[in-house]
Structure 1
């Protein structure tokens, strides 16, 4: 067997293995969608689980899209997520550029402090954040969900690594032409940061849209509930008595994430690969 045939066989084996593992990972999501189309699942959940319902019906999804509370929770999540993504990505791009190309005192120390925030989970920060926003009278509003997300150590780190691989000579040439730091950033480096920006949009969107614990702590009014909170409250109220409707709600709740990922997923591997290359 020649080398070309060996490479083809190896590629086929890798594809089959990845396909099998991909299908295994997708099985829970396929089952979730399937149960949503099973009207009988509102009476009793099918056991053993079936990938294709015996009687396919769009009844559950029809109820979901007519649900006023779900629509309101979508609007709430849209407001919080859009604001968080815009502020988080913008701040991370500026901070990453500053740590990569900037020259200022204690830069290394400040960057280490930013990285240290990655080691602090959300749970120890709940009480201090709650006390802080309570003192400003901002509880039971969207502000506690938006403001703490502006500074994100992981995104700043990814931005710095990405800007590190871009030539510093671009900045030096712009400085010779008399450009200031903000002009250099917005006209020279920002147009080149499309891949990392797209990756950060995806990550920030997923984190904000799926956030559950912190909104549960600060939001008391049901009219302000985000999609995860509404889904949790619906599940607690009905349990498995409306399994089909619950699964339909869960399916609809992840649609924005799936759409966002499909549009921007090709940038993830590209940007992470580039951020690991040191450029001069």
Structure 2
């Protein structure tokens, strides 16, 4: 009995230590974001950045946010980012689901070689692809449009790999039973496997949303028209124009720029947890 109680107490102590450690690291990770929000509500930060940093400003005011939304450019940048991000997410997720299912359940010649080629794209960063992509879109006259930001999302090696790993966990007996009933391959995918892919689809939506919304280098290369600038480009141009002289406005704009990512994550976080849990279950 004493040994059992000792074991329970040691487990509680270990869990308490884990919680405290995770809490400390969580607070450390959140501190820069909290400071960014705090400076955004500090009107005096437009004159001089507060030092030492304070999480609660002395002069709490929504003045900076009012100035930001009075400028119509931020709404235009939001609209541009919304168009690009929504299109990129839809294309990348749909293509990854189809590709992942084909590589997981499909049987065709050259499947391993094609999948290896898809994985090879993960080893090539964006920087070496900038010039070839720029020349490609320039040759077809698509620069200074949203198409160069949307079309490269058609194939994402990481998302295809993620989908394949997920579909590998689902039993092949579902497909075999449907084939016996005479269902076509598209019917099997859309009626059986796609409804089960909700968790992994939600995970891919968040990942592709973050990638597209925060993308800076590629839009900077292909978009010269300020009317087409996305949120990261508008934030960068605002920072270059004002430097640290308007620190409060810059931090307020940065806070506004990440709100869509936070909202999307809050709505889909339970699906992400579910996909992580299912990834360790092997279907038989």
TM-score scaled to structure 1, two decimals? Answer: 0.98
Corresponding residue SS for 1:78: helix
1:210 to 190, 214, 227: 214
After superposition, the C-alpha distances for 1:127-185 in whole angstroms (9 at most, x for unaligned) are 00000000000000000000001100000001000000100000000001110000000
Q: Deviations over 1:181-236 (max 9, x none)?
A: 00000000000001000000000000000000000000000000000000000000
The Cα of 1:276 is off from its aligned counterpart by 4.9
Q: Which moved more, 1:47-56 or 1:219-228?
A: 47-56
In structure 1, the gaps of 5 or more residues are: none
Aligned with 2:200 (options 196, 203, 208): 196
- Decide which of 22, 33, 40 is 1:36's aligned counterpart: 40
Does residue 236 in structure 1 map to residue 240 in structure 2?
yes
How many Å separate the matches in 1 of 2:18 and 2:81? 39
Of the structure 1 ranges 128-137 and 263-272, higher mean CA displacement relative to structure 2 is found in: 263-272
- What TM-score, normalized to structure 2? 0.97
Name the structure 1 match of 2:171. 167
Q: Does structure 2 retain, via aligned residues, the 8 Å contact 1:42–1:245?
A: yes
**8 A contact 1:162–1:276 mirrored in 2:** no
Task: Point out 4+ residue stretches in structure 1 off by more than 4 angstroms.
Answer: none
RMSD: 1.0
C-alpha distance in 2, partners of 1:108/1:279?
A: 22
- Does 2:257 align with 1:253? yes
Per the alignment, residue 189 of structure 2 pairs with 185
* Cα distance in 1 for residues equivalent to 2:211 and 2:263: 15
Aligned to 1:123: 127
